[in-house]
Structure 1
Amino acid sequence: MNITVYLASSTGNDSKFEEAVKELGSWIGASGNTLVYGGSKTGLMGELAQSVLQAGGKVIGVEPQFFVDEEYQYEGLTKLIVTKDMA
């Protein structure tokens, strides 16, 4: 199953967010599911992708070209889909 998660590219102001994201990512990966998310390596998005991959899951990132140009993409994704813009 593909699971889409929308979340911040920052870590937030409460460490509980990071803990929850890691727990969610571990569950997604260990359950054999695939994460579909914004493709970033930063903040909670990066933590989520990393935890899914570490748990053996697949991760598909969808990211606009201007973020790729700024090198925000998470290297090592299962697949990265680059779009023209946010729309």
Structure 2
Amino acid sequence: MNLLEYLNQNYLMLVPALWVLGFALKQTPAIPNWMIIWVLLFVSITVGSLTFGFSYEGLINGITAAGVAVLGHQMVKQALLGSGSRKK
């Protein structure tokens, strides 16, 4: 299943922007890790809706863009850490 097939091409620019924002939030001690996904989701929906219009499709694409960004980050993180990060 390729999530990018479900994401409108206009929203593709949000994915790397969300990665950068997520990295910045991760470096900010005042933001707990659990809150980062919610901030990214809010920003994605807000920016997408303001840029491409308030609609059901805009909402779904905002959610999908945030999901692709988080999933992509986790895939890279898990691939780089590999099995060395397993708890014993």
Tell me the TM-score normalized by structure 2: 0.30
Bigger relative contact order, structure 1 or 2 (CA pairs below 8 A, ≥6 apart): 2
Which has a greater percent of helix? 2
Structure of greater Rg: 2
Which has a greater percent of strand? 1
Tell me the TM-score normalized by structure 1: 0.30
